[in-house]
A and B are shown apart, each in its own frame.
Chain A
Amino acid sequence: MNPESLSFIFLSAFLINNFVLAMFLGLCPFVGVSAKRDTAFNMSLATTFVMFVSSTCSYGINQILIAFDLEFLRLISYIALIASSVQLVEMVLKKFSPALFRALGIFLPLITTNCAILGVALFQTSREYDFLQSVSFSLGAGAGFGLAIVLMAGLREKLELSNLPNITQAAALSMMLAGILSLTFMGFAGLGGTNA
């Protein structure tokens, strides 16, 4: 049992220990899908949804594994769970929003290998959050991921218009930008407790 309050867990995952900028989780979509703001926003919605589903389910699965003394299967069952929830999101999107489905392209199945999602499941297990705390944690993490990727997309849209030297092409400049964003987010460090 972890004594942290729900609001603190949310805020901590959202701002203070932002998943992308302070814990380096989910960098592939952060670099890959942050070229346009709309796509970035939709990506963050899809990711948050998968995070929420997989976090609640993994809480249940973890209880079962503990009951049967099978903790060594945790990693394998979590990843299988995430893969199937991504499949679910993919089918729903394909049916209801083909345009978005095409826009996300290869990055949709790659949500499976988004470390932020497995990260949520693993951290909530290691910090022994109960059910409500897990929900709050996953929503906070998803919101934090969304905030980071949308901010980044906004910056990169502005970059398109500016005249840059040759060597800053591709990811080099994105990394620098992310560094500056991360520096800004360190300003939130005083808001609550430190890293757990």
Chain B
Amino acid sequence: MTQATKKETPLTLDVFTAGIWKENPVFVMMLGLCPVLAVTNSVLNSLAMGIASIFVLVCSNALVSALRNFIPKQVRITTYIIIIATFVTLVDYIIQAVSLDLYNKLGAFIQLIVVNCLILGRAEAYASKNSFTKSVVSALGMGLGFTLALVMLGGVRELLGAGQLLGYQVFSTQFEPWVVMILPPGGFIVLGSWLLLINYIQQRKTGQIIAADATAHCTVKP
């Protein structure tokens, strides 16, 4: 073991929490949008997808980080992809064994975790540069943030589109389901609305700064 590694910043709680809100992969970094929109027509699907993604994210980041000094620079992306694909194949078979029903609902999107930019992005940007523990902790935070976003979307879509939450009837039978929310357009619109809300909150929080150059901002770029 060589001790020649660069001096690293210590492991703090910030490493973990950054992924959950401040750098939330979906709402702030806009990564891995495809599964976010495709499987969030119910809370259960969102949760299953989130857990599968956490597993792949943590395992692949752990392995990438552990091997970071051995992977040649030129073929690193290919190596990362193959590491990720291995874990996704695992998850694919595990879900098939645990619940075939769920597997059929999620369809190809389990296998499509391979091309989730979030996972490859974290491997490249974080795990390949940081120590094992830090990578695992950060991956866990990112994964939780991703799951949180999925559930936030899935909750709204299921509630409005079917009047249910996790399969339990929330609204009375008089409620006419807003079916479009479960259909593809609903995914875009709900995500757009969450982004608007988050932008609004951010603007309120840092109101001083934004208000100061609001006019300049409006004229430069919409």
From residue 177 to 198 of chain B, which have CB atoms closer than 8 A to chain A?
180, 183-189, 191-193, 195-196
- Does A79 lie at the interface of the complex (its beta carbon under 8 Å from any beta carbon of B)? yes
Contact size range, B = 35 or more
Whether A176 and B188, one on each chain, are in contact in the complex, defined by CB atoms closer than 8 angstroms, is: yes
B100 to chain A, nearest CB (A): 15
Within 8 A of A (CB), among B103-155: 108, 111-112, 114-117, 120
Instruction: Decide: B85 and A76 in contact? CB cutoff 8 A.
Output: yes
A24–B34 CA distance with the chains assembled, in angstroms: 5
- Is A167 located at the chain interface by the 8 A CB criterion? yes
Given A167-B199, A182-B188, A75 and B33 touching (CB < 8 A)?
no
Using Cβ atoms and an 8 Å threshold, which residues of chain B touch A176? Answer: 188-189, 192-193, 196
Interface of B (DSSP majority class): helix
- Given contacts A24-B37, A24-B38, A27-B34, whether A160 and B222 have CB atoms under 8 Å apart is yes
For the complex, count residues of A whose C-beta is within 8 A of B: 49
18 pairs from A and B in contact (CB 8 Å cutoff) = A22-B184, A23-B38, A26-B34, A27-B37, A83-B77, A109-B77, A112-B77, A164-B218, A164-B222, A166-B217, A167-B199, A169-B222, A171-B195, A172-B192, A173-B192, A179-B186, A179-B189, A183-B185
**3 pairs of A and B residues whose beta carbons are closest in the complex:** A179-B188, A175-B192, A172-B195
* Interface residues, chain A, with chain B CB atoms under 8 Å away: 21-28, 31, 72, 75-76, 79-80, 83, 109-110, 112-115, 117-119, 122-123, 126, 159-160, 162-164, 166-176, 178-180, 182-183, 186
